[in-house]
Chain A
């Protein structure tokens, strides 16, 4: 049996890891939960954003946290254009087509990255990468603590946007009743593209928070996507608080099950919880019945 201090440390580590999961899932919950687009390209977009943060640091000397200010709008624009000019027109309004188009987009993005940057794994070394917060009984890496705070801030901002702004109301209206939204004058194609852009911007911020302590290669995003899909279903589709709480919960479950069952079996805990939620509360923790 592990000492309480180790258990507390494992929980804290789980929360810090879960925060990044939550941010990736926030992007997905908008796209998947609100627009019902199963975005297979989400992982490839994360890889792309990680490369963006990497080269911003290597070529321009931009700190990743600073780079987020430029990368988020850039990825927003990319996501907007992707939905507006590729995914939207190519899908012809059929969900099955969207599935295939996003899968195709992910294959294209990953292979363009592979062609341009090879499969080499790259890392950056920022001065604070190894700085830690000394809690007396454990050390918490500073970049991950910053990441945790940033994710909370983004989640609050996104929640405020969805709750109080006209754009948020339009997104929710489109999610609930597309035809009705169109009838009251909402530009549905624009709202779709903006939502996709917001989801992609979340991925850009996640990339900037990850890169100081993680690595990038053309397929690195895949590792986060399955977890993100789980979090979206667990938290409730389209729910911003759901994605945040779900992400943190999954982080802690993964950490504790890794500690007790071993890292190889650590993922079991996540999927057990996932199955339980589907059985007991299929709408997710914060979801509402359709």
Chain B
């Protein structure tokens, strides 16, 4: 006789029935309080991008913590954050989407790097799973017609246009002291793409490009690059590097006493970093950057800054962008009224969310891109990072050219 029949005792039958009855009753009990919503929080927390990924995860976790402390999403209950590690690779991101989909998440937030965001958005689209990009700036992320993908922050096109317009504005306002430019860029997609764009557009704004210097990541020594700067003496240096190389370059420039009229970055690796300003205040002085930044006049943004700094972490853009993205999704979910992917997508499409901490215009998604998103220009002034443009968010006027 098969064992499963012989072992099926009266006691087991009763226990099984009790469990089944409990399982049937429990959901209705939970539903009365809101059953909770599973959100996928996906970042590269290991590998080359792990610092940024960890910071992004921190921002998302802080938002989830706040929402859950306040009782969760209205009508839906608390957020159950399903954490994922994209391993700093597109494949890693795709694998996490599969896991998160199996876990039954209603939405995925994060990605950080453009390459990861591109892969994650495609994988999530197969399951009609809403995906909110936290940082990834490549324009292709939102131009492929994927209905599930939303980017709250600005894309590369908007950032580079704003950066060039603001550079021209700053230079014109100072009487056009800068005429010549040297571009130093890391040689992967980010730096090379930016250098190409700058080479095409800077001459239209009246700048002469003396030289464009690519370098690999990591680069151990920037003395040669700085030697070339010394030889050509450009008015403006535009670095497009990741954090480590940016810091090494700035330190070498200080060591070799190379002081151009301005250092102007676009999505600069360290230029808008409190860590850089704290550790190397002299090398960071007067550096300008066009980058993601929080709204310095928003009390919520300042409260978040304090909370992050109290935890011994730096308030980097990954933190407040992910924080804002989670709030955006929570708002859409409460309007959708259900942890349903289709309803959430519709709610995101019609979002006018304003409870974030970014210096953006009104939220409006067109083909997945938030039209209100824009970068700002910052400058390191008085050992702090101040917004200098646009005027409606500015805390100080740009200091240009740099004082000798």
B-contact bits for A213-245, CB 8 A (1 contact / 0 none): 111010110011000000000000000000000
Nearest residue (CB) in A for B192 is A264
The reply to whether the CB of A6 lies closer than 8 angstroms to some CB of chain B is yes
A255 / chain B contacts, CB cutoff of 8 Å: 221, 223-224
Quick one: which of B54, B227, B244, B279 contacts A259, CB cutoff 8 A?
B227
In angstroms, Cα B213 to Cα A267, docked, is: 15
Tell me, yes or no, whether B74 is within 8 Å of chain A by CB.
Answer: no
Q: Is the CB of B251 within 8 A of A213?
A: yes
Which stretch from B62-70, B136-144, B253-261 is at the chain A interface?
B253-261
Q: Is the CB of A215 within 8 A of B256?
A: no
B127 interfacial by beta-carbon distance below 8 Å: no
Contacts of B225 in A (CB 8 A): 263
A118 & B54 in contact (Cβ 8 Å cutoff): yes
| In the assembled complex, A9 has its CB within 8 A of some CB on chain B | yes
Cβ-defined contact, B224 with A118, below 8 A: no
| Chain B residues positioned under 8 Å from A215 (CB to CB) | 244, 247-248
Report how far A139 CA is from B256 CA in the complex, Å.
6
Instruction: Verify if A10 is at the interface (C-beta below 8 Å from B).
Output: yes
Tell me the count of chain B residues lying within 8 A, CB to CB, of chain A. Answer: 33
Contact B231 A6 (CB under 8 A): yes
Q: Is A94 an interface residue (CB 8 A)?
A: no
CB B250 to nearest CB in A, in angstroms, measures 11
Given contacts A130-B255, A263-B215, contact A123 B247 (CB under 8 A): yes
The yes or no answer to B126 lying at the interface (CB within 8 A) is no
Interface residue SS majority, chain B: helix
C-alpha gap A217/B225 in the complex (Å): 23
Question: Which positions 1-18 of chain A face chain B at CB distance < 8 Å?
Answer: 2-3, 6, 9-10, 13, 17
Q: Is the CB of A132 within 8 A of B255?
A: yes
A264 to B218, CA, bound (A): 10
Chain A residues near B213 (CB, 8 Å)? 262-263
Q: Is the CB of B255 within 8 A of A223?
A: no
Given A130-B254, A262-B214, A263-B216, answer yes or no on A121-B243 (Cβ-Cβ < 8 Å): yes
B171 close to A (CB within 8 Å)? no
- CB contacts (< 8 Å) of A282 on chain B: these are none
Q: Which residues of B contact A139 (CB under 8 A)?
A: 255-257
How many chain A residues sit at the interface, stated as a range, is: 35 or more
Given A114, A132, A224, A264, which contacts B50 in the complex, CB threshold below 8 Å?
Answer: A114
Q: Which of B50, B223, B251 contacts A119, CB < 8 Å?
A: B50
**Nearest CB of B to A148, in Å:** 14
Tell me how far the C-beta of A210 lies from the nearest C-beta in chain B, rounded to whole angstroms: 9
Q: How far is the CA of A214 from the CA of B218 in the complex (A)?
A: 12
CB B196 to nearest CB in A, in angstroms, measures 14
Cβ of B215: which chain A residues have Cβ within 8 Å of it? Answer: 262-264
Contact B227 A263 (CB under 8 A): no
B201, CB-defined interface residue at 8 Å? no
Q: Does B46 contact A (CB under 8 A)?
A: yes
Question: A155 to nearest B CB, angstroms?
Answer: 20
Given the complex, which residues of A lie within 8 Å of B257, measured CB to CB? 132, 139
Are A263 and B223 in contact (CB-based, < 8 A)?
Answer: no
Q: Is the CB of A263 within 8 A of B255?
A: no
CB closest chain-A residue, reference B313: A120
**Distance from A40 Cβ to chain B, minimum over Cβ atoms (Å):** 18
| B-contact 0/1 string along A139-170, CB 8 Å cutoff | 10100000000000000000000000000000
Q: Which residue of B lies closest to A13 (CB)?
A: B223
A7 CB to nearest B CB, Å: 9
Task: Determine which of B227, B244, B255 lies in contact with A6 in the assembled complex, contact meaning CB atoms within 8 Å.
Answer: B227
Chain B positions within 8 Å of A17 at CB level:
220-221, 223
A187 within 8 A of B: no
Q: CA separation between A220 and B219, bound complex, in Å?
A: 11
Find the residue from A139, A219, A220, A263 having the highest chain B CB count within 10 A: A263
Assembled-state Cα–Cα distance A121/B387 (Å): 25
User: For A3, A9, A255, which residue has the most chain B Cβ atoms within 10 angstroms?
Assistant: A9
Report 14 cross-chain contacts, Cβ distance below 8 Å, ordered by A residue: A6-B230, A9-B227, A10-B224, A118-B51, A119-B46, A123-B247, A125-B280, A129-B251, A139-B257, A223-B218, A255-B221, A259-B227, A262-B215, A263-B225
Q: What 4 pairs across the A-B complex have the smallest Cβ distances? A: A263-B215, A119-B50, A13-B223, A119-B51
| Given A139-B257, A262-B213, A264-B187, 15 new contacts (CB under 8 A) | A3-B231, A17-B223, A118-B51, A119-B50, A121-B243, A125-B280, A130-B255, A130-B282, A132-B256, A138-B256, A223-B220, A255-B223, A259-B224, A262-B214, A264-B216
